[in-house]
């Protein structure tokens, strides 16, 4: 009896870490549902992956700053007969102006994209994963999640939410065969800074701080497969995270697991 290939949903899949995850998983035989705003970029990537790896690769254009998008994406997956075994919550952005000077619609979109949509997608795919007793979720956080709050930016707080929520979900879901990992990269060579308009500032940073997306993805996928709830890829980032956080990552996780209010319910 032939086992159906597993399927992965990847957001922010048109470039950078998202596109690199698509290549990484396609090479391992996963069916893919690629989601981003730029359909042309995704169609080009999907054609390459289908030709190279002979895997099914669907494309769905959506803007996750729209509150309706998560439900629409998951309905499309159902219509295509794709049961989501892997969720890569990668889509993200960062504000460029002070909080008080930024229109509320822009701030609301940032929260919708990186908090609400990410959480909603996870909530909807988890029941199927539990039923199949297998699932992998990678939530893109950042080494910034370990840093003190930054003036005017929501980014640090949002990425801290992603870090903490991922660990909480991993504690809850691991008995059901589901691993959840917060992937916390530092500066990565992608189009992110070009899109955000921060390329000039980024170019002045020392080269030692930067990683290639392939290294970030390889570390993140290995971590989620091995059941590690937090992945900080790269030695420099590990040192930075350890220096900024009062408790070692593993000890903080174990402390939170011990204090779980639902463990005896």
Q: Which residues are catalytic?
A: 155, 159
* Nearest to 62, CA basis, from 9, 12, 137, 1: 12
Structure tokens at 132: 């199949």
DSSP codes, 197-241: T-HHHHHTS-GGGEE-HHHHHHHHHHHHHTT-SEE--SHHHHHHH
Contacts 24+ apart (CB under 8 A), 238-244: 240/143, 240/146, 240/186, 241/143, 241/146, 241/184, 244/146, 244/147, 244/148
**What's the longest Cα–Cα distance across the chain?**
60
- Three-class DSSP category at 30: coil
What is the rounded distance in angstroms from the CA atom of residue 77 to the CA atom of residue 121? Answer: 12
Structure tokens at 238: 């590990």
HEC profile of 37-90: CCHHHHHHHHHHHHHHHCCCEEEEECCCCCCCHHHHHHHHHHHCCCCEEEEEEC
- Which letter, b or e, does each residue of 57-77 get, where b requires 16 or more Cβ atoms within 10 Å of its Cβ? bbbbebebbeeebbeebbeeb
């Amino acid at each position: 009896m032939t086992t159906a290939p597993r399927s992965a949903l990847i957001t922010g899949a048109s470039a950078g870490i998202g596109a690199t995850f698509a290549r990484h998983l396609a090479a391992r035989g996963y069916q893919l549902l690629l989601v981003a705003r730029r359909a042309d970029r995704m169609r080009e990537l999907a054609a390459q992956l289908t030709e190279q790896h002979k895997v099914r690769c669907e494309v769905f254009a959506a803007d996750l700053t729209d509150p309706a998008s998560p439900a629409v994406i998951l309905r499309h997956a159902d219509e295509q007969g794709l049961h989501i075994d892997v969720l890569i919550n990668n889509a993200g952005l960062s504000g460029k102006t002070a909080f008080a000077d930024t229109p509320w619609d822009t701030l609301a979109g940032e929260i919708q994209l990186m908090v609400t949509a990410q959480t909603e997608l996870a909530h909807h795919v988890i029941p199927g994963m539990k039923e199949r007793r297998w699932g992998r979720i990678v939530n893109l956080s950042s080494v910034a999640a370990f840093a003190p709050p930054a003036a005017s930016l929501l980014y640090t707080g949002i990425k801290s939410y992603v870090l903490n929520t991922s660990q909480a979900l991993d504690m809850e879901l691991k008995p059901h065969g589901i691993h959840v990992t917060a992937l916390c990269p530092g500066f990565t060579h992608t189009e992110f800074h070009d899109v955000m308009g921060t390329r000039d500032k980024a170019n002045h940073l020392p080269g030692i701080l930067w990683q290639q997306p392939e290294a970030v993805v390889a570390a993140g996928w290995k971590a989620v497969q091995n059941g590690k709830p937090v992945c900080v890829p790269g030695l420099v980032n590990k040192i930075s995270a350890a220096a900024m956080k009062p408790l070692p990552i593993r000890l903080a996780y174990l402390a939170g697991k011990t204090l779980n209010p639902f463990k005896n319910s």
